Copies of this chain bind each other. A is one copy, B any other.
């Protein structure tokens, strides 16, 4: 029986501008060197897949302390044309600022691409990205994982636009605010942000880092 490799692949999602984006790197190894794909690689002899995912992420992008969750294991025999290799896919979430930083830093060959469309990526990476987006959509409707996608303080308008980008549909601002504030998922700070030629936005923070609660969200609009 042939030897089977074990790898991890990480779909890093972030709100880049106001789009939900996925981080891709220029692959360095055959047979797809030079093409864009998900960061990842073989697991080490003495680490879990979770540790491997965190290590690969830090090594290839400089990102650390990010939210990481196992998604699914992909194992089609021909998924890697070079050699038999199963891959444990992960979802990672990073705040926009941090994401932009790492994309422009010393780590070369890193960029964000729209997450909600396929890019003809090598291996089964398109499928992994799709699974990551789907999972995030689920998560965001009944938890406050969005914590991991935003800076410490933010305007509720920003937050709403982030949710809309993730979910792919628009939300009602009154219902959105009501729920988040009434249920104390976010709390107002003393600060406001005076930006453009507009009324300044009060800044908020997430209240608690509880990750799951009883069916929050989403004030879907009819259209």
- A73 and B71 CA atoms in complex are apart in Å by 9
A33 touches B (CB below 8 Å): no
A197 touches B (CB below 8 Å): no
Once A72-B70, A73-B70, A75-B43 are accepted as A-B contacts, the answer to whether A49 and B86 lie under 8 Å apart by CB is yes
| B70 & A48 in contact (Cβ 8 Å cutoff) | no
- How many copies of this chain does the complex contain? 2
| B49 & A73 in contact (Cβ 8 Å cutoff) | yes
**Which chain A residues numbered 60 to 119 have a C-beta less than 8 Å away from chain B?**
70, 72-73, 75-77, 84, 86, 88
The chain B residue sitting closest to A215, CB to CB, is B215
CB-defined contacts of A5 to chain B, threshold 8 Å: 4
Instruction: Choose from B2, B6, B46, B72 the contact partner of A86 (Cβ within 8 Å).
Output: B6
CB-defined contacts of A72 to chain B, threshold 8 Å: 70
In whole Å, how far is A23's beta carbon from the nearest beta carbon of chain B?
Answer: 22
| A77 & B1 in contact (Cβ 8 Å cutoff) | no
A30 touches B (CB below 8 Å): no
Once A72-B70, A73-B73 are accepted as A-B contacts, the answer to whether A2 and B45 lie under 8 Å apart by CB is yes
CB-defined contacts of A48 to chain B, threshold 8 Å: 75-77
A44 touches B (CB below 8 Å): yes
Instruction: Choose from B42, B75, B84 the contact partner of A49 (Cβ within 8 Å).
Output: B75
